[in-house]
Amino acid sequence: MSTTAVVERENFEELFEALRARGYESVGPTVRDSTIVYDHIETVADLPVGWTDIQEAGTYRLVRRKDEALFGYVIGPHSFKKYLFPPRHTLFTLEKTSEGVKLVDAGDPVPQYAFIGMRPCELAAMSIQDRVFGEGPFFDTEYLRRRQQVFVVAVNCVETGGTCFCTSMGTGPKALEGFDLSVTELLGDAGHRFLIEAGSPLGEEVLADLPHRAAESGEVADAERLLEQAEGAMGRSLDTGGIKELLVGNPEHPRWERVGEQCLTCTNCTMVCPTCFCATVEDTQSLDGATAERVRRWDSCFTTEFSYIHGGSLRPSAAARYRQWMTHKLASWIDQFGTSGCVGCGRCITWCPVGIDITKIAAAIRASEEKKHALA
């Protein structure tokens, strides 16, 4: 859409100013509780300046970098999902009045969010949720009224995490679409600066507010080289060839039982997943019965209640629940929404308290399938 601009580090602060001037509330990465979470941010100083994260299955550690990079980490336990599809949300309340029951639509004002530092995998996840919530036959108005006004500042990944596999899922490490601005951070002898591309007219407008110059061809080449390196440095990989048939064709694979022995059914993988969209509604009433409230909250296919029908849960074992989640995510999601439900962010691997690795399970099932064919 436009040529690449360069904004120097000392002028990057102006991005926050330009967004604030347009009424946006910036949310993005910041350090809290030994991790990088997403929260309200006001200035560059709120970003995880000079921090990085080291991730492996079941472990995450925040460590100092040798430089003062603003985006020198990968992703943390939060995803931007929580702003568009809140963990808990009142849909409406009912009040008993002398004229009958009055419905009070919660319809609370929604902030106009600017998502700062959205990674390409997260952008892909949002596009998947756009499909789930916004492309019918049923529309989720709560999601849409939040989503429609979001301004996206994507940040390309020049470094990769230990559990990342976006290359396998075709979602990164460079954001190709769906952003208003996309940023690639450059450090080194030539100075700390950002290559910025606008992806929308609004993005161009915001970019015009920042002191910038046109990128030199060397700078663009540097960024391309870094992104290419990142592409080859993913901590994990997942072979997606025929994955749907592979998983759907192996419902009784012994690996499911093994993962069931390890799985805590704690729901962490589904809660940190940026595409998991399951929710349930709860109705409560005040003690005197004068008011009632309907709340929607995140649910998970790892709970007993999730598949409870009269008489019991359809998926009583951990093995059955893990199989359901993974098969939906990587296989039946394709039938349902036309894409994989996985973007390769690796959160389910890092944030599983016992380090269960979706890529290893897929690889194990594939390996035994290949062995079977080799013997046949």
Partner 1 sequence: MASHTMPTAKPKLGVFKFASCDGCQLSLLDCEDELLAVAGAVDIANFPEASRAVEEGPYDLALVEGSITTPHDAERVIEVRRQSKFLISIGACATAGGIQALRNWKDVDDFTRVVYATPEYISTLDRSTPISVHVEVDFELRGCPISKTQLLELVAAFLQGRRPNIPTYSVCVECKGRGTPCVMVSHGTPCLGPVTQAGCGAICPAYNRGCYGCFGPMESPNTAALGHWWERQLDVPVPDLVDAFRGFNAYAEAFRTASDDYELRESRD
Contact region with partner 1 (CB under 8 A), list: 30-38, 106-114, 196-204, 206-214 = 30-38
Residue 91 lies near partner 1 (rule: CB under 8 A): no
Closest distance to partner 1 from the beta carbon of 256 (Å): 15
Q: Which of 293, 301, 241 is nearest to 268 (CA)?
A: 301
271 binds partner 1 (CB under 8 A): yes
DSSP-assigned states of every residue in 198-262: E-SHHHHHHHHHS--EEPPHHHHHHHHHHHHHHHTT-S-----TTHHHHHHT-TT-HHHHHHHHH
The secondary structure element, H or E, covering residue 91 is strand 88-97
Please state the closest distance from residue 302 (CB atom) to partner 1, in A.
Answer: 8
Q: Which of 198, 279, 318, 343 binds partner 1 (CB under 8 A)?
A: 318
For the chain, what percentages of helix, strand and coil (3-state, to nearest 5) are there? 35, 25, 40
- Beta carbons within 10 angstroms of residue 283's beta carbon: 10
Residue 77 binds partner 1, judged by CB under 8 A: yes
Q: Which stretch binds partner 1 (CB under 8 A): 16-24, 94-102, 164-172, 351-359?
A: 351-359
> Which one of 113-121, 131-139, 241-249, 346-354 is the stretch in contact with partner 1 (CB under 8 A)?
346-354
Binding status of residue 353 toward partner 1 by CB under 8 A: yes
Contact 326, 315 (CB under 8 A): no
Verify binding: residue 331, partner 1, rule CB under 8 A: no
Angstrom distance (rounded) from CA 336 to CA 138: 13
| Residue 64 makes contact with partner 1 by CB under 8 A | no
Number of residues that bind partner 1 (CB under 8 A): 50
Dig out the tokens for 319 from the structure. 């093995």
Closest CA to 48 of 34, 80, 124: 34
Closest separation between CB of residue 142 and partner 1, Å?
17
Residue 351 interacts with partner 1 (CB under 8 A): yes or no: yes
Residues that bind partner 1 (CB under 8 A): 32-35, 37, 39, 58-62, 76-78, 82, 87-88, 261-268, 271-272, 282-289, 297-298, 300, 302-305, 316, 318, 350-355
